[in-house]
């Protein structure tokens, strides 16, 4: 058990290092939106999703409703449910319901990628180690960013907060350059976001994210449906 836990921690170190820099930007963003250091860290400790956290903070700052927050988080974080379902096929028989709940809380894109690449069945101790180091990196980075944002000049914090948006751009650019279908969906979402921002200012930021994500997904599914051949290749 100890060996598997240490192995998981070791595999999580690269993720942790990446999370440190990204969550630093989130901590700065929280301070910009007049949240406290404690609130910033509390969000990162209880909600491990960069895009969801950013959208959530913007909804809080805009005084959005609880329904808006719930729908926004559901749309943004729905993919984690699909990732967890996929990982459930690789779990060791020792995974009981409590282990599944705790591990499900810690599944992120990067953790899913590392866990799904393992040849052996995933044991609880390995998954706890794999989740622990990124969790500490994300929480620590948020704390450092929030402290820095609280003491640095506004001009500096404004520049540092762009780190998060730089990360989002870095996530979508490689697949968009590789696949024109992805690029098309990304452009649809971006164009719709601009239209809502300047032509429909009465729509809040949270609902804007929901509308853009749903419309772009539906348009992509209609214009570029997955063929049976592609679905079969994905299953393998």
Following DSSP, what letter does each residue of 123-178 receive, concatenated? PHHHHHHHHHHHHHHHHHHHHHHHHHHHHS-HHHHHHHTHHHHHHHHHHHHHHHHH
pLDDT tens for residues 109-134?
Answer: 889 889 988 888 999 999 999 999 99
For the record, the structure tokens of 119 come out as 């040849």
Residues 6+ apart with CB under 8 A from 83: 107, 109, 112
Length of the chain: 236
In whole angstroms, give the CA distance from residue 169 to residue 206: 19
Does position 235 have pLDDT exceeding 60, yes or no? no
Query: 121-130, 154-163, 170-179: which range is least confident on average?
Result: 154-163
For the record, the structure tokens of 30 come out as 């929280």
In whole angstroms, give the CA distance from residue 171 to residue 190: 15
> Percent of the chain scored above 90 by pLDDT?
31
Helices 66-87 and 205-223 cross at an angle (nearest 10°) of 40
pLDDT tens for residues 181-214?
Answer: 888 988 998 899 899 889 988 887 667 877 887 8
In whole angstroms, give the CA distance from residue 25 to residue 141: 8
| Residue 209 φ then ψ, to 5° | -60, -45
Q: Are 189 and 169 in contact (CB under 8 A)?
A: no
Is pTM beyond 0.85? Reply is no
Q: In this predicted structure, what is the pLDDT of residue 231?
A: 47
CA-closest candidate to residue 208, choices 55, 67, 99 = 55
CA-closest candidate to residue 4, choices 97, 118, 139 = 118
In whole angstroms, give the CA distance from residue 93 to residue 100: 11
Place of tokens 């009465």: 202
pLDDT tens for residues 42-75?
Answer: 999 998 888 889 889 988 988 888 888 888 888 8
Q: In this predicted structure, what is the pLDDT of residue 176?
A: 82
Q: Are 138 and 23 in contact (CB under 8 A)?
A: yes
């Amino acid at each position: 058990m100890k060996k598997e836990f240490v192995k998981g921690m070791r595999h999580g170190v690269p993720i942790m290092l990446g999370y440190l820099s990204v969550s630093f930007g989130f901590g700065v963003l929280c301070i910009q939106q007049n949240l406290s250091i404690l609130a910033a860290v509390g969000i990162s400790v209880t909600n491990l999703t960069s895009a969801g956290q950013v959208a959530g903070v913007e909804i809080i700052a805009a005084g959005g409703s609880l329904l808006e927050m719930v729908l926004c988080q559901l749309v943004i974080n729905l993919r984690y449910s699909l990732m967890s379902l996929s990982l459930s096929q690789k779990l060791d028989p020792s995974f009981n319901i409590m282990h599944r709940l705790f591990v499900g809380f810690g599944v992120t894109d990067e953790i899913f990628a590392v866990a799904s690449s393992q040849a052996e069945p995933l044991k609880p101790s390995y998954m706890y180690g794999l989740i622990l180091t990124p969790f500490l990196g994300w929480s620590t980075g948020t704390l450092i960013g929030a402290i820095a944002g609280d003491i640095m000049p506004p001009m500096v914090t404004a520049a540092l907060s762009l780190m998060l948006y730089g990360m989002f751009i870095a996530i979508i650019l490689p697949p968009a350059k590789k696949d024109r279908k992805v690029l098309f969906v990304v452009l649809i979402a971006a164009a719709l976001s601009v239209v809502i921002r300047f032509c429909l200012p009465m729509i809040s930021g949270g609902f804007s994210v929901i509308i853009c994500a749903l419309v772009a997904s539906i348009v992509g599914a209609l214009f570029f449906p997955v063929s049976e051949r592609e679905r079969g290749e994905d299953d393998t």
